Amino acid sequence: MIERGIDGGIELDVEVETFPIRGAFTIARGSRTETRVVTVTLHSRHAIGRGECVPYGHYGESPASVVAQIESVRTAIAGGAGRSELLALLPAGAARNGIDAALWDLEARISGMSAAHRAGLPGLLEARTVRTISLDTPETMATEAAKLPQFEMLKLKLGPGDFVERVEAVRAARPEVRLVVDANESWSPNEVGPALAALAELGVELVEQPLRPQEDAVLEGLRRAVPVCADESFHTTADLERIAGRYDAVNVKLDKTGGLTHALEVARAARERGLELMVGCMLGTSLSMAPALLVAQGVKWVDLDGPYLLARDREPGLLLQDDGVIRPNPDLWGG
């Protein structure tokens, strides 16, 4: 194992890239037509490793701030600091994720052993992702759902107000589909209980982050007719004690955990507490999804559809099927 550092002489490159979104991506907090990612490339004498992270303004990040964080550890990485040291060098967040992913990739290519094998997983991996439908009118959301008959599960972005009407419209268009919904902190504490009951009647199987983190104490002791998943309320293992009685599941995103290394620990610790897992993503390319695919094995809810939502993905990318099945591509990441 070489996760504690690679023989020195590592050169680090960092770049901000922009990828257009197919149409627009709209949630309760706003709409966007492109995503900006930060790409980390590590060069050793023997191989090149790459990683991608997605700065998230809601968490106080920007491309510039993430690049600055990455630059702050350039000397340490050049000197051979590995993934274990990185956990102490940077806080959880996008910057640490980008470097961590590049280190995993570099280790795999130097050792000749895939990242999946190094993580103790079988070599042939795949997962079936949900497909996200942006917040829009009930009619438009139903139309979009009808265009995706091959996807077994859809994730609906919802806001305050007439969200039940939107779910009813989608359910009418796709009676058989599995549904999860994401409120992105937009509901009020008073409406959570009735909303969960109404969505249970519509066959919704998971509700993601209905409340703002500072309001979610109301979930403790609440009879939850539909399981509730923590996203904005949950980042790392440090959050488990606080949220364990409030939520039924946690959304593990590598840009929150600060990389695959800690995400694997998060997944283990959450399961030990009886919490279900969703493996999610920020809006990135296949290079962002590839490390998360390792965490997604055996997970009930997988939300790694970022590349499906882009007008242009990386080449080469992950192996993406029309029904949402994702398979790794060793030419992209992980060996």
* Catalytically annotated residues: 157, 253
- What's the rounded Cα separation, in Å, for the pair 62 and 76? 23
In the three-class reduction of DSSP (H, G, I as helix; E, B as strand; rest coil), residue 148 is classed as coil
Q: What stretches of 147-206 show up as alpha helix (H) in DSSP?
A: 163-173, 192-201
What distance lies between CA 144 and its chain's CA centroid?
A: 22
In the three-class reduction of DSSP (H, G, I as helix; E, B as strand; rest coil), residue 189 is classed as helix
Which candidate, 297, 292, 255, 251, places its Cα nearest to that of 270? 251
In the three-class reduction of DSSP (H, G, I as helix; E, B as strand; rest coil), residue 183 is classed as coil
